Amino acid sequence: MMLIRYLTQIGRYFIMLKEIFKQPTKWKVMRQLIFKEIDDLIIDSLGIVAFISFFVGGVVAIQTALNLTNPLIPKHLIGFATRQSVILEFAPTFISIIMAGKMGSFITSSIGTMRVTEQIDALEVMGVNSLNYLVFPKLIALLLYPFVIGISMFLGVLGGWMAGVYGGFTSSAEFIEGIQTDFIPFHITYAFIKTCVFAFILATIPSFHGYYMKGGALEVGKASTVAFVWTSVVIILINYVLTQLLLSS
């Protein structure tokens, strides 16, 4: 019974994706909606992303330094480990899971509130494709999400450099040598491919849970929680699949 319910939900999700691109809203209206979503989803997220990235980069550098107890192991490995951790996993994946909580709950609650207050029904009565009106601007706004992750990568490595150098664990020259050691440019490409896929998930799964929720105001909170859980689960699963496809060959 539960399997059938999940399959129904997955089918409904893919039907929703098809409906988003039908009967587009007028560009004059859509432009204003896109700018509003950029402000709500991208600009408002920069502060928390910058704060978390900087300090987690610092923690990675300190923990790496504290584990390099053997004097034969070169100090530049602190910079190397910080770069690999931040670029490959922390910035694209864990920031996306944090954003599933911040962006995801915002998207679900805003669309869910519109469902509860019958604003979505009003849009449908006026002949507007409500899915295009509500979800498409979020998809376009999240095309800027890789820019947020780029800032996260930079600040993560910067935080590691500051923690390593000013904490007395390594010198600036050694840390920078570590950042440059065995650098593979494809790792950046891999991180941004993941980021673009995660951006699509962050826009659509919370929208799905908000759009199709039933009940009153109390259910809006429940839908936000469920959306966060499912967005996080899908991000982690897709992260595994993309890593297997892109890095193991």
pLDDT digits (tens, 9 = 90+) for 54-91: 999 999 989 888 887 777 777 778 888 888 889 988 88
| Phi, psi of 23, rounded to the nearest 5 degrees | 45, 65
- Mean of the pLDDT values across residues 109-133? 85
Question: Is 243's pLDDT higher than 80?
Answer: yes
Residue 17 has what pLDDT? 83
Return d(Cα 169, Cα 79) in angstroms, integer. 11
d(CA 14, CA 19): 9
One DSSP character per residue, 55-81 reads: HHHHHHHHHHHHH---TTS-TTHHHHH
At 20, the pLDDT band (50, 70, 90 cuts) reads: confident
All residues at 6 or more sequence positions from 195 whose CB lies less than 8 Å from its CB, including other chains:
92, 96, 145, 146, 149
Helix axes 130-141, 2-20, angle to 10 degrees: 80
- Which pLDDT tens digit goes with each residue over 147-171? 999 999 999 999 999 998 888 888 8
Q: What is the DSSP letter of 42?
A: I
pTM of the complete model: 0.89
Neighbouring residues of 138: CB distance < 8 A, sequence distance ≥ 6: 37, 41, 107, 203, 207
The token pair at 27 is 């560009």
DSSP string computed for 108-131: HHHHHHHHHTTHHHHHHHTT--HH
First to last CA, the chain: 39
Name which of 66, 56, 121 is nearest 93 in CA terms. Answer: 56
Q: Which of 125, 124, 191 is nearest to 157 (CA)?
A: 191
C-alpha to C-alpha distance for 164 and 47, rounded to whole angstroms: 23
Using the predicted structure, report yes or no on whether residue 144 has a pLDDT greater than 70.
yes
Amino acid symbol at 10:
I
Span 128-139, mean pLDDT?
87
Q: What is the pLDDT of residue 249?
A: 61
pLDDT grade for 24, boundaries at 50, 70 and 90 = confident
